[in-house]
Structure 1
């Protein structure tokens, strides 16, 4: 079985959770079964019709056209949409009203991103959500049939489970307690709010992640704090990244919204507790002592949660046990079962 993997054209021009998800899924699928071959499709050089199944990652950035093309060719389509859990019935209703108004104003020569996402979800044969919150958002916000949605959380690369903090401390000279924020530096990720929340706590903030040109001023605003430090971007496979997670007292992700953030899973795999935004699809039963969720704009709540975890850290092995089931091999076996389910159905 030949599986074609696609997303939007500029996907790999930056680094983030989706890029890791795509690469790790492809690699795990190709190690799973000799009869199965997964590869990233180059639409300029390859035809969709050369593949048995098309798997599209992200329902945004024009990817609905990929889904449409595959469906027109009679190919089964799996869609990993990455829908924000903030979508609910009210948000979906407002978006549909706005879409109709925009259509009337422009003589229906304009499609909103909501309409494009909704079409991709409706056309796909199977939809893979990363958690229950995303599944409910797909159903309630985009009126998608519940029966065709599967829930498969992301995996975690093994190097994070075995990481030690010594490498990071030796390379950076940071020896005391600190809070780590991993991800693109931007107002959406809210590192400035985090820096302000940590003022006076004696917990310095260390940031790892890329900075877009338009966010340089934002970065400089953060670095005005003598307690904030930016180490630049690191490759996902760089041992220094895994070591940073292990060395940190707390990992913080106070962004305005997340779907199923890999940085949180990786931090827990390294044995480090996390404080993150409450607007997320990530749900881990029994994780209250090591994973705290706080509103992205609640600086006092963030500070209290971070200081509390840093002063009374949970046992590292118990933190790791919360996520030991999240492997890319498990993800690959679940996704492969979807492919096998679809191919006979289409052939019939």
Structure 2
């Protein structure tokens, strides 16, 4: 089901493959595995994206076959030591009540993380979640942030302005359109003739009424979903006065990094693991339910925009080439261990 939808996870998989291929590292061949047609033991190293959604079965089989696994955890925020303890208690109770015929998602996620030889965390918050919530040994965790395509660092705002006719300041909300994204209250409070709100994203069938409620507000424009490769997307980020992401529970929101790369400041919910030192002048992380604080932060950034070059500099280390080089190093490390007969030792 992975590619039956198109969102951040699918984008990360495709972008990782493309960036690794562009490196042209001698001897490194990258291929997207079709688990219905191809055996896992034909590969030297397997990279699995996400520790949830049944991926534990892929990791288990690779373990049985002796194929080392790099696992990008992609955990939801909020996994603390206490949360891990509660989930462990729930797993024990579930097992005993069902004679161990039923597993919780926590148990499956934890097993996938335990069997992988190397676990990738996107930032320090996710690294802490792995250690505290799932008891992953720190030595097995590599801190590797997601990548941002080079085109976002060189984005030109004029293409989007010509396309939409928007000449003045505006607020951009990019991503899925759904109630859990909490766009409605904020758009009603923000949208004025002086500060329109532009929505980019797809609304699924069950959320069409929610979308109609959004666009019914004055000065709210919905432009549908732009393909990630569409130059207009990067231009939209560059043209916006501020990107707003008020949704609860964003794991590691790529639109935030992409907007910052174009020089556009961001206001988002504070329960994301994203942490950029020294970014307070351009990245405001506030409680998702505090619409007044979100509104005031947005208006302040619109009134006094930070220097675009300084904003872009916050994410220079996230350029895809740098990320791909570090990922390739992870593959090489596990390949060498396997060649030297280290097996599953870490």
Give your verdict on TM over 0.5. yes
Say which of 6, 23, 29 aligns to 1:15: 6
- Which residue matches 2:294? 302
Say which of 172, 178, 184 aligns to 1:180: 172
2:74 pairs with 1:82 = yes
How do 1:51-62 and structure 2 match up within 5 A?
51-62=43-54
How do 1:77-226 and structure 2 match up within 5 A?
77-198=69-190, 202-226=194-218
Alpha-carbon distance in structure 2 between the residues aligned to 1:122 and 1:175:
52
Say which of 205, 230, 233 aligns to 1:238: 230
SS of residue in 1 equivalent to 2:71: strand
Alpha-carbon distance in structure 2 between the residues aligned to 1:126 and 1:197:
45
Say which of 25, 28, 33 aligns to 2:19: 28
Q: 1:197·1:302 contact (CA, 8 Å) conserved in 2?
A: no
Q: What's the Cα RMSD here?
A: 1.4
Distance 1:34 1:197, change over 3 A: farther
State the 1:312 CA deviation. Answer: 0.1
SS of residue in 1 equivalent to 2:66: coil
State the 1:232 CA deviation. Answer: 0.7
State the 1:168 CA deviation. Answer: 1.0
The more displaced of 295-304 and 203-212 is: 203-212
State the 1:268 CA deviation. Answer: 0.7
Alpha-carbon distance in structure 2 between the residues aligned to 1:121 and 1:201:
50
SS of residue in 1 equivalent to 2:180: coil
* Structure 2 unaligned blocks of 5 or more: 342-346
TM-score under structure 1 normalisation?
0.94
Q: 1:252·1:276 contact (CA, 8 Å) conserved in 2?
A: yes
2:260 pairs with 1:268 = yes
State the 1:200 CA deviation. Answer: 5.7
SS of residue in 2 equivalent to 1:26: helix
Alpha-carbon distance in structure 2 between the residues aligned to 1:217 and 1:105:
41
2:50 pairs with 1:50 = no
Alpha-carbon distance in structure 2 between the residues aligned to 1:199 and 1:46:
51
The more displaced of 218-227 and 297-306 is: 218-227
The more displaced of 101-110 and 195-204 is: 195-204
Alpha-carbon distance in structure 1 between the residues aligned to 2:126 and 2:76:
6
- Which residue matches 1:6? none
Q: Hey, which bits of structure 1, 4+ residues long, moved more than 3 A?
A: 199-202
Alpha-carbon distance in structure 1 between the residues aligned to 2:134 and 2:240:
39
Alpha-carbon distance in structure 1 between the residues aligned to 2:115 and 2:247:
31
The more displaced of 206-215 and 65-74 is: 206-215
SS of residue in 2 equivalent to 1:78: strand
SS of residue in 2 equivalent to 1:127: strand
- Which residue matches 1:5? none
2:332 pairs with 1:340 = yes
- Which residue matches 1:39? 31
SS of residue in 1 equivalent to 2:46: strand
The size of the alignment, in residue pairs, is 339
* Structure 1 unaligned blocks of 5 or more: 1-9
State the 1:201 CA deviation. Answer: 8.7
